[in-house]
Amino acid sequence: MTESQSREVTFKVDGRSLRGRQGESLLEALRRYGYQVPSLCHHEAVSPYGACRLCLVEVQKGKRRKLTTSCNYPLMEGIEVFLDTEQVVSNRRVVLQLLLAQAPAAERVRQLAAEYGVNDTPFEVEDPENRCINCGLCARVCKEVVGVEAIGFSGRGAGKRMVAPYDETAEDCIGCGACVFVCPTDCIGMSETGGIRTIERWHRKLPLKTCSVCGRHFAPTFQLNKFAEWTGLPRGHFDKCPDCR
Amino acid sequence: MESKRLQEIVADHGKDPAQLLAILQDIQQEENYLPKETLKELARELGVPLARIYSLATFFSSFSLEPRGKHICTVCLGTACHVRGAPRLVDQVERDFAIKAGETTADRQLTLETVNCVGACALGPLVILDGEYHGNMNTAKLGRVLGSLKKE
Ligand code: SF4
Ligand code: SF4
Ligand code: FES
Ligand code: FES
């Protein structure tokens, strides 16, 4: 952590005076104090991307007051934050209408929208089956946390899609399932049958290793081999599942 | 693209992952498109994930992932060209060469593409054939320009 980030600052939320660290994500600071701010594309472990625009708040800095996404807003001394103002709520409704048009099949989007009284969208629905909101969280986690970068966006604008390269098998994918876990709309999918783990959206199938002690399938062999390669530990180290080690 | 040629291009750019864009431009320049096998090989050569290369390759409209023809005919469909009848020019090429915009003829002679305004609106309707600008296009003129290709 850099020095400027660790500096303590004072800020206000709906008139209440609070403390936080300079440069930290405003959204994370708000959550620490128990404030509820909706979000879909944010995860503390990875860099913010500001894709879903749900985490809107109003921030006043000096004389200027503006609407901003809070996940990628760096906390600074003296700002005043307003949470559910009329501005915020009406803009969030529009954001939810857009998300509904983009990912009409996403349960989580529908729920959130309903909480704001949005049950319909005036925008054009391209694919009624779609659940992906193009938030990029899966790819950020794959790259920044897992260190693999097996997937990414293809195209841009209206044609932008989160895919494995060529929408074929993601050959770099180690099948760890981190992306499946973080996807806010549950549109990646993972299954295990007959000793094979499938990461559905990336068309990746990997045989699972059997624990040499308890005989349980516990992780893709490919993933364990990668771990051995990265850590320099002997492959034998990964013959047993974490419980039997 | 031959592996040897790819390695040369990569070496020309110091085998530097930061030069990815320039390397892709060189491949596109020589092949008229970015072949899948070449990109997979490039990922291994540079030690860059294929996902990153693929994202970049699909982001810029100047790259093509599909084979393109020996000749590229680009019709501007920007507003100024559009109102002066550019869509009719697209129709004409589509009909004469039996391809749709974005496609390449089976003999790999011609690819038809469209763009939105290249900034030469005063010349509209504008057609760019193999990099050369042809302004004030009409169906008769376009027929003549493309006719020379057909005879090749
Ligand atoms: S399962 Fe594959 S794509 Fe998903 S985070 Fe792990 S390595 Fe990346
Ligand atoms: S698959 Fe999930 S995590 Fe990835 S971009 Fe789509 S919604 Fe976001
Ligand atoms: S959580 Fe801030 S934009 Fe998505
Ligand atoms: S609209 Fe064709 S060049 Fe501008």
Position A23 scores a pLDDT of 94
Domain regions of chain A by residue span: 1-132, 137-238
Domain covering A1-132 in this structure, CATH number: 3.10.20.740
Q: Does the pLDDT of residue B152 top 70, yes or no?
A: no
Contacts of B102 (CB under 8 A, 6+ apart): B112, B113, B114
Q: Do B51 and A170 touch (CB under 8 A)?
A: yes
Q: Which CATH number fits domain B3-59: 1.25.40, 1.10.10, 1.10.287, 3.30.1240?
A: 1.10.10
CA distance A143 to chain B (A): 10
Say if residues A162 and A153 touch (Cβ distance below 8 Å): yes
Q: CB atoms < 10 A from the CB of B125, how many?
A: 27
Q: Is the CB of A150 under 6 A from ligand 1?
A: yes
Residue of A nearest to B63 (CA): A155
Distance, in Å, from the CA atom of B104 to the CA atom of B9, rounded to the nearest integer, reads 26
Q: Does the pLDDT of residue B8 top 70, yes or no?
A: yes
Position A236 scores a pLDDT of 83
- pLDDT, tens digit (0-9, with 9 covering 90-100), for B70-81: 899 999 999 999
Please name the CATH architecture into which domain B71-151 falls. 3-Layer(aba) Sandwich (3.40)
Contacts of A30 (CB under 8 A, 6+ apart): A13, A37, A57, A70, A81, A83
SS (H, E, C) A26-59: HHHHHHHCCCCCCCCCCCCCCCCCCCCCCCEEEE
Position A3 scores a pLDDT of 52
Q: Do B54 and A166 touch (CB under 8 A)?
A: yes
Position A230 scores a pLDDT of 87
Position A90 scores a pLDDT of 96
Position A193 scores a pLDDT of 93
Distance of CA A175 from the midpoint of ligand 1 (Å): 5
Domain regions of chain B by residue span: 3-59, 71-151
Mean pLDDT rounded to a whole number for chain B = 92
Going residue by residue through chain A, which has 245 residues, state the pLDDT in tens, using 9 for 90 and above.
Answer: 455 557 999 999 999 999 999 999 999 999 999 999 999 999 999 999 999 999 999 999 999 999 999 999 999 999 999 999 999 999 999 999 999 999 999 999 999 999 999 999 999 999 999 999 999 999 999 999 999 999 999 998 888 999 999 999 999 999 999 999 999 999 999 999 999 999 999 999 999 999 999 988 989 999 999 888 888 888 888 898 888 88
Position A115 scores a pLDDT of 96
Say if residues A83 and A37 touch (Cβ distance below 8 Å): yes
Please name the CATH architecture into which domain A137-238 falls. 2-Layer Sandwich (3.30)
CA distance A6 to chain B (A): 31
| B13-52 residues touching A, CB cutoff 8 A | 36, 49-52
Ligand 4 closest atom vs CA B115: 2
CA distance A153 to chain B (A): 5
* A167–B contact, CB cutoff 8 A: no
Distance, in Å, from the CA atom of A122 to the CA atom of A8, rounded to the nearest integer, reads 44
Pairing of strands A217-220, B71-76: unpaired
Pairing of strands B71-76, B110-115: parallel
The total number of residues written for chain A in this structure: 245
Position B18 scores a pLDDT of 94
Q: Does the pLDDT of residue B4 top 80, yes or no?
A: yes
Position A171 scores a pLDDT of 96
Query: B61 — phi, psi (to 5°)?
Result: -70, -10
